[in-house]
Structures are given as C-alpha cells and as structure tokens.
Chain A
C-alpha cells in the first residue's frame, strides 16, 4: 500500500457525537416508577446476597413453644405454626426466588439465543427442525409444561430451574429467530461473506449485537414471570423443598390460617407481588429507553 495520502480534500464536517447512553438515562429515569422498581430490585438483591447476616433467626429453626406468635420486637412478623421466624424466612426466600429467577432467565436466554440465531442464519432443514420442535414446546402453557417437568423430575431447586428453563426457551428462540432473519437482510451481513468471514464470526460479531436489544428487554420482563411460576409451583407443592425456603410454599403454609392469622400468607405474597411488579416495570422502562423506533418521541 502506498504511503501517500490519496484524497486530501476536506471531507464534510463530522457531526458531534450523539450519545445513546445519555438518551437512555434520560428516558429511563424520567419515570419515577422505574426508579422505584430499581430500588426494590436492588433491595431484593442485597437481601438475597447477605441473607445469612441479615436474617435474625435460622429459617428452619423450630420453636414449638412459640408457634403462631404475633409480630413483636423479637419476631418482627411473628412466627408460623412450627414457631419459625417469618421475617427470617422471607429474607431467605428472596435468595431462592432470585437464584431461580436469574439462573432460569440466563440459561434459557443463552440456549434460546444460540438456537434462534443458528435457525435464523442457516435456514433450511436446520431451522425447520429447531423451529418445529419449539412450536411443539410452545403448544403447552409455560406453567403446565413446568408443572409436568417438575412432576417428572421431582422437586428441588435444581429441577425447578431445569423445568422452568425448558418452558421458557421457546420464547427466546422465537424472538432471536425473527431478529436474525431481519438482521440477516442487511448488506453488512452480505459484506461479511464477501470479505470471507466465517459463519460463526458473522453470527457472533454482527448478528448477535444487532439482535440483542429486544432480548435484554424480554429477559428482564421474563424474570418476573419466572419468579411467579416458581412461586406457583412451590405453592402447589412441586417446587422448592426444605431446607430451601420459598415464598410460594410460605403462602401455601399460611393459607390454612388465612382468616385467623393472615400475615403468614400476606407477607410472602406481598414480596412476590413487589418483585414481579418491579421486574415488569423495569422491562417496560428498558424497552422504552432502548427502542430506536421511539427515538425522538421519548
């Protein structure tokens, strides 16, 4: 290549940097409710991480002489039938909910993204096989499929994560398949082939980053749904088992005493509601802040 500068004519002035990050922050933090949701989620994560230090009692320590105690200074939210401190159980329950939620969301997003991009990029038989299989999975409602799998696999945190992952993978595959098909149409994918870039490189470096945004939104919104599903399974008795503590099973335990001692069900119920609500709000706000089609209107 030559050392000479071929074209020295002044090229039109480059526009000032447009910051996407600035717009994102502005749109995102404009909504007070998004900040509220973010604070709730931060508190939840903090609680989950530091549960052993935050909980005043062991969440499985029984004290039958002090069962069904009303809220007091020693037991902030009272105790349950077996005399276990409700507040401690709530704190440990946050840990379970978030572990199941994040693990399921990220594992299913990773598997779904890979399958969706492969199906979309290569097309043909590969896409037919993957997509028809996903259609079959999608035929079942998520909670029914998870219930079925949990029933077959047995309860326990690991099996619940597997069951929920299988149930939520098709959604991601669908989304990434569609995104890949639309991104693939751009000339820059053709340009990649023209320069001799491998399929793996093209998918990873060019399709994935361009298809990522709706996936982030879906992942955030799905977290709420997954925590809800996990609680549902636990409520039905096929979910988390002791020694792990789940909000869903706490609601189920307190259900019998709903009229005389409602706090046993209400306390975990409110927690579930707050977390699910917060993740949904966060997903919505992320969508508004990231969606390029809303640029200018928001």
Chain B
C-alpha cells in the first residue's frame, strides 16, 4: 500500500504546521484572538523511525499529534503523509488515510467506550474500513490482536470497567493496530499508568514495532524524558508551539544545545544523592507565557538565562549544528 504511493524515504513530512484555535467573545462570536497552540512546526519522519515529542504541559505536543491525525484541521502548513498532503483534505477523503494512521490516547479510562465490549472496541476499525470478509475472519483477527497485545482472547466479551488501567491501555493499542497502520501516534500512552505498568506498555510498543509485516513508525508524545530516551530514535523538544531542538536521544542528553533543553534536562532528578547534591540546576524563572500572546522573537527569551536584546526581535529558525542536530536558537 504505502510502498506504491511513496517512493521517497520519508513516511511523514510536516512543514510549517500551524494550528490556531480562535477565541470568540460575545453574542456574535466575534473572533478576538487566536490561541497559537502550534506555531510553525516542521519535521520529517522516516519509515520505521520513532520520534519522541517532549515539552511541558501546554506546549502543544498533543495538538501536534492530533493535527497530524487530522482530528483538527490545521490553520496552515503541510502534512505530507505517504507522499500526499493531507492537511486540508475533507473528512470524506481522509478515510483511507485514517486506515494508515492510528492513535493511542493518554487516558485509558476515557478513551474506551464503557458500553462496548473489549472485543467490539478492538474490532470496530475492521468494520469501519470493511476489512474482514466474514464473521469468522473478523473474530480470528480480533483474537490475534488480543494476543499481540498480551491479552487473553477469552476476555473479548468483558467491558472496559472490568479491566485495570494497563489492560485498558493494551485494548487501546490493539484498536490502534487493528487496521495494520504504518504510523501510530502515541499521545502520552503511559503517563496515566503506574510506573511498573509503564515499562510493560513501553516494551510492548517496542516489540510491536518490528513484529508486524509493516515496519511501524511512531510519534511518541510524552513529558517523561527517561521514557522518551528509551524508545526514541530522535527527540523533538517543544516550547510554546514551536520545536526548539531535534536530535538523537544520546546527543540530546549529552550535549543539549538549546537553553530550554538544558533547563529541562537539569530538572530530571538523578538517583544518586551525591551527584544530585553537587550538580548544577538551571531554574527557569516565571511561567510559560500564554500562547494567546506569545512573546516576540524567540518565545523563550523572557525566561532564557542567555538572552540578548536581539532575541526579542528575531524568530530563530531551526538550523543544523552538525550531524542532524537541529536547534532553534540565535546564541548557539
């Protein structure tokens, strides 16, 4: 499927993606401002790659994921998926795209319909896309999906409230796998789970990657840096709707270039008390500015320890600092 359509090496290319949510006031719903949730994000993703997307709450990670999945219609920019720009496609033409792209949600409690049995939830994409030939084929596939995510197929008739959080997330993963997609967007799939379960789910996702007959590509959204380091091939750091740094996890952890990334990494506690005592922490001042009225120039400049007057005027572009290590900072 994907091979015929797309001969270049990128599965997904996002170019200058913008997603503004209008703020309306009054009886006539006049637009008074825009929440610039995503403001010019660009990256590309090779087949089989895992891109980690990190950043603090409200920086637009989830919005990026949902916009790529076309749950929102982007304000501007291109989303080139399998060689086709899907950014402005109407809902009707999106159906084949939806089959190739799946999403795993953060909250395993609200992402499963409480009135549907686990089997129905997992099998629904098969019905929606008319994939299975008959009833037997359908049950066989649902059963296989259950086995793939480590659930007993005998539990097909149970309802979501009868499962634990980790098991529910497995159901969500099975649903995402149902149509055999090439891209899965994982929107903080483990943040709502216990630490012990987190590891299971992460390992499951990593195992699944190479198990299918198609190499899975992930966009892995998280705010937990250690989780992202473990699973990603490349990591993108976001701040206030923009990507400030993209590189490999090793490079990012050993040689963070953007001052925001440095501050973010220094906030991760070290389990060794002696090192923890000695190490230097960069403490950011102030709050994340409102995406309604983002600061001029580099949006990070009001909190940046190394900002110059120039930073409040010029918007820094992402540029390569060697070996594909991309940074958006004037001072680097």
Contacts and interface: CB of A to CB of B under 8 A. Distances in A.
17 contacts: A1-B145, A1-B212, A6-B149, A6-B208, A6-B211, A12-B167, A186-B110, A187-B105, A187-B110, A187-B111, A188-B112, A188-B113, A191-B175, A194-B102, A195-B98, A196-B99, A198-B128
B137 to A, nearest CB: 12
B63 interface: no
Interface of B: 66, 69, 71, 94-95, 98-99, 102-103, 105-107, 110-116, 124-125, 128-129, 141, 144-145, 147-152, 155, 158, 161-164, 166-167, 170, 172, 175, 178-180, 200, 204, 207-208, 211-213
Contacts of B166: 11-12
A5 B112 contact: no
A11 B150 CA distance: 7
A17 interface: yes
Given A6-B207, A12-B166, A195 B158 contact: no
Interface string A7-25: 1110110110110000000
Contacts of A293: none
Contact of A14 (B107, B112, B167): B167
User: What are the 4 closest A-B residue pairs judged by CB atoms, nearest first?
Assistant: A7-B150, A196-B98, A187-B111, A209-B115
A45 B212 CA distance: 59
A3 B145 CA distance: 10
Contact of B204 (A6, A14, A192): A6
A2 B213 contact: yes
A210 interface: yes
A201 interface: yes
B107 A7 contact: no
A153 interface: no
Interface residues of A, number: 32
A40 B176 CA distance: 51
Contact of B161 (A18, A191, A192, A194): A18
B179 A195 contact: yes
A191 B111 CA distance: 7
A11 B128 contact: no
B148 A14 contact: no
Given A2-B211, A5-B148, A188-B111, A11 B170 contact: yes
Given A14-B155, A14-B158, A18-B162, A196 B129 contact: yes
**A interface majority secondary structure:** loop
B124 A210 contact: no
A3 B211 CA distance: 10
A196 B151 contact: no
Contacts of B141: 1
Contacts of A191: 103, 105, 111, 172, 175
A131 to B, nearest CB: 15
A196 B166 CA distance: 25
Given A7-B207, A12-B167, A195-B102, A17 B158 contact: yes
Contacts of A18: 161-162
A26 interface: no
A157 to B, nearest CB: 37
A190 B98 CA distance: 12
Contacts of B211: 2, 4, 6
B150 A195 contact: no
Nearest to B115: A209
Given A195-B175, A209-B115, A210-B113, A2 B148 contact: yes
A30 interface: no
Nearest to A3: B144
Contacts of A195: 98, 102, 124-125, 128-129, 175, 178-179
Contact of A2 (B149, B161, B167, B212): B212
B148 A7 contact: yes
A194 B208 CA distance: 20
B60 to A, nearest CB: 17
B160 to A, nearest CB: 9
A2 to B, nearest CB: 5
Contacts of B145: 1
A129 to B, nearest CB: 15
Given A6-B148, A7-B148, A186-B113, 9 more contacts: A1-B180, A6-B149, A6-B208, A6-B211, A11-B166, A187-B110, A190-B105, A195-B175, A197-B124
Given A1-B180, A14-B163, A188-B112, A196 B128 contact: yes
A73 B12 CA distance: 89
Interface string A202-244: 0001100110000000000000000000000000000000000
B95 A196 contact: yes
Given A7-B149, A188-B113, A194 B213 contact: no
A31 B182 CA distance: 56
B103 A201 contact: no
